[in-house]
Amino acid sequence: MLVVRPIAMSDYDALHTCAVESGHGFTSLPVNQELLTNRITHSEYSFSKSNVTEPGDEGYLMVGFDSESGEVAGTTGIEAAVGWDMPCYSYHISTIVHSSPKLGVNNVVKLLTFGNNYTGCSEICTLYLRPAFRQGLNGRLMSKCRFLMMAEHPERFSQTIFAEMRGVSDEQGNSPFWQWLQEHFFSIDFTMADYLTGIGKKGFIADLMPKLPIYINLLSKEAQAVIGQVHEKTRPALALLEKEGFTCRNYVDIFDAGPSVECDLRNIESVRESVRAKVEVAAHSSSQTFLMCNSSFEQFRATAAKAAHNRENGTVIIAPDVALALQVETGDWVRILAQ
């Protein structure tokens, strides 16, 4: 059984393994001991904060682990409000018309405009599941447990939730979009820029990035072709978010031009469809599978398991091993989402 819980410093080696395996373009997991350690420390601090009434500088990082072996299968996270301590840059794709009625010319062109449009929004991030565990409902659990957390503790998160999707790059980490920017504005390759961003050194972006809008039709054909496109390994994650109601509002990443997708918290399908239920711990014969989490925040737990849900009286029967995984007893509350 895969169980999701807050990360702890004892998970450092597993997090480092995830960082190495995730490869180029996975900015939120830099292969850097200091930065990974800081992320764990900050997450521990964030989960321990009580009486939070609005999103702030909190960053919640979790791991999924096998309940039998204890092996860490992957990681997933949420930033409560981005852009306050470090800027969150993006490009917005807009459309303008160059028209001359006298000449009978009417050209529609698109622009990339540099900005900080997601400042203050909550970001779902750092989702990585190791290859050996990519089966069953594990991927869904690692992604959707964040929405169960948001539904249970909405005061900790913004009304707008977004995710930056990994853009197109090759096996060596080369991005066609970045290659054009590098040629005209930068003197560092994509992997170095990606790494510097991951470790928080974003000053060079504001220093070197063109301040005026960029006409997309002036970019190389290769760069134009990947704007708003995702890396092949990111397509399943994007499809899952699109089913939740996330959509691209014409914002893309400034390095690889991967799309950012967003959704209002109240409109996320898993938030709308999940319900609270009172626990009864007992054996049952139900074949219905649910994603579920406990009601605790500091000791958050989530898993996928069969359960017997009675909508009329608002109860759910779960097996003893599931109750143990969620750290709940009869009479406690859980949030469940039918699969």
Q: Active-site residues: which are they? A: 231
> How far is CA 152 from each of CA 76, 143, 272, rounded to the nearest angstrom?
17, 15, 11
End-to-end CA distance of the chain: 16
Q: Interior CA angle at 273 toward 267 and 274, to 5°?
A: 115
> How far is CA 27 from each of CA 12, 36, 173, 255, rounded to the nearest angstrom?
17, 12, 12, 10
Taking the C-alpha atoms of residue 312 and residue 57, their distance in angstroms, rounded to an integer, is 40
Taking the C-alpha atoms of residue 158 and residue 146, their distance in angstroms, rounded to an integer, is 13
Taking the C-alpha atoms of residue 235 and residue 123, their distance in angstroms, rounded to an integer, is 18
Strand partners, 77: 61, 125
Contacts of 336 (CB under 8 A, 6+ apart): 274, 275, 276, 277, 290, 291, 292, 307, 309, 316
